[in-house]
Structure 1
Amino acid sequence: MPKPTTKTPVRRELVMNQLMEAAERLFAQKGVAGTSLQELADAVGLTRTAIYHYIRGKEDILETLVEGFTLRTARDLRRLAASNTGSAMDRLREAVTGMALIVAQHPQRFRLLLTSEGAFPEPLAKQYRRARRETLAALEELMVQAIKEGSCRPVDPELAAFALVGVSNWVAFWYPRPEGAGAAEPERLAASLADIALQGVLSERTASGDGVAHVIGLLRDDLGRLERMLEGS
């Protein structure tokens, strides 16, 4: 089997992962501006010339961070908000799980993204800000859909969207841990975290309950929701 070269996808992926890991360490220690390309090259065993086969400059690493987290998340959530497949609550759960998972898979890299915002070139900064707005707007839209279908309580959709983003992002600052919940693999942790986060907005219809008082309460919720819909129409 031929040895991978700089032009093969396998070799490129390997070196890019090494560069990202080196950037995580060096940028955290010295900042983006304080880290040279030579230091990045030295960290992965490349010459200053060879590193240009993989990146044009430190801006490429920043673009990779923004693409891998912010732009990807915005695309996924826009797709879920526009979908007609499944219930809004199922799509909302998928959205929160996906946000938590991508952070849990690379917590240090996500922290690097947050701490490097000030170093983004303006075109990249605009993409980044727009994608963050789109993520919040898609989450808010999913909340509105879930409220209308009755699976969510009539909470403030914008406030709920901010809360769900915050829960997902905070994973980067405590995961992984050697024991307890923080020791779970990223997929299981993300699913559990989504369940916990969404418990705060779930409609009482999803909880067990019977009797006249429970039914009257549900009818009152429906009436209140209908009134709010009519006021907004």
Structure 2
Amino acid sequence: MMAMTSSSRRKPAPRKAGAAPRAGGNGAAEGDKPARVTTARRELVENEMYEQATRLFAERGFAGTSLQDIADAIGITRPALYYYVKSKDELLAKLVTEVTNGPLNELKELVEQADLDAVGQLRAIVEIIVRRRATQPARFRLLIRSEAELPEELTAAYDESRRAVLKTVAEVIEDGIRAGQFRPVDARVAALGVLGMCNWVAWWFNPGGRDNEEAVTDQFAEMAIAALRRADHHTLDGEGPQAALKMLRQDLDHLERLLKD
């Protein structure tokens, strides 16, 4: 039998354009792992970029901080930083969007869950906001301090996001009032109170300090619900006709608001 020469050996057929990559030993496509690694690295670098930028902006001010300062703090070169952001203004815009739209997106997903009533939704809302304020307090404080320095388009986007969050919380409270779970109060005022309580966490909570994040979150959720929950039975605030009239006026005011809607 004639020996097979190197030129006569069968070469592997070229893979057709558009065909899926061959699976490796773990059954995953060869192109999957680098993509996952690249995405994970980008998220890590972006998060570190936000953290260092927040710290430097707070320490030196926006004008006193350069992209080189941020690159040095992260431990990468300035050209490498340009892969993630092109200017300080763009970085500030990314930071503002991350702080404002993050909670809003979570709240939108939450209220779409049909298995939660108003009480459950309010509890989850408080947990989302308090957890973000407790884990990223510096970012929120920087945003509040920088409101006057934000470009006009960022200010408009920030205001729109705040109004959307307020509207979402107020609608949940109004749903609870209609269902008889919450007292007949002004839903917008109540929503402002809940948000103010949650946002204040960013100013006093100390990660790693005496207060536990989970315990604080649970307590705030209970406090928000307790402030709005309606008792199972009507109880008079005092005695006599005046107390009865006060309770009746509350119900009539609530009914009038429903009729106006």
TM-score bucket of the superposed structures, by smaller chain? 0.7 to 0.9
- Amino acid aligned to 2:124: E
TM-superposed deviation, 1:82? 5.3
1:157 to 187, 190, 194: 187
1:229, 1:84 → 2: CA distance? 25
1:122-137 aligned at under 5 Å gives the runs 122-137=152-167
- Amino acid aligned to 2:174: V
For the residue of structure 1 that corresponds to 2:63, the secondary structure is coil
Residue 166 of structure 1 is matched in structure 2 by 196
Residue 260 of structure 2 is matched in structure 1 by 232
TM-superposed deviation, 1:87? 1.1
List runs of 5+ in structure 1 lacking aligned partners: 208-215
Please, what is the CA RMSD of the aligned residues? 3.0
TM-superposed deviation, 1:193? 1.2
Percent of aligned positions that are identical: 35
TM-score when scaled to structure 2? 0.72
Q: Which has the higher helix share?
A: 1
1:29 aligns with 2:29: no
Residue 211 of structure 1 is matched in structure 2 by none
Higher relative contact order (CA 8 A, sep 6+): 1
1:80-119 aligned at under 5 Å gives the runs 80-81=110-111, 84-119=114-149
Residue 189 of structure 1 is matched in structure 2 by 216
For the residue of structure 1 that corresponds to 2:200, the secondary structure is helix
TM-superposed deviation, 1:101? 1.1
Residue 25 of structure 2 is matched in structure 1 by none
Q: Give the number of the structure whose alpha-carbon radius of gyration is greater.
A: 2
List runs of 5+ in structure 2 lacking aligned partners: 1-33, 235-243
Residue 16 of structure 1 is matched in structure 2 by 46
2:83, 2:131 → 1: CA distance? 31
Q: Is the Cα–Cα contact under 8 Å of residues 134 and 205 in structure 2 kept in the other structure?
A: yes
Q: Is the Cα–Cα contact under 8 Å of residues 135 and 207 in structure 2 kept in the other structure?
A: no
TM-superposed deviation, 1:221? 9.1
Any idea what the Cα deviations from partners look like across 1:134-191, whole Å, max 9, x if unmatched? 11111111111111111111111111111111111111111126554x2x1x344222
Any idea what the Cα deviations from partners look like across 1:97-142, whole Å, max 9, x if unmatched? 1111111111112212222223333222221110100111111111
Q: What number of residue pairs does the alignment pair up?
A: 218
For the residue of structure 2 that corresponds to 1:46, the secondary structure is coil
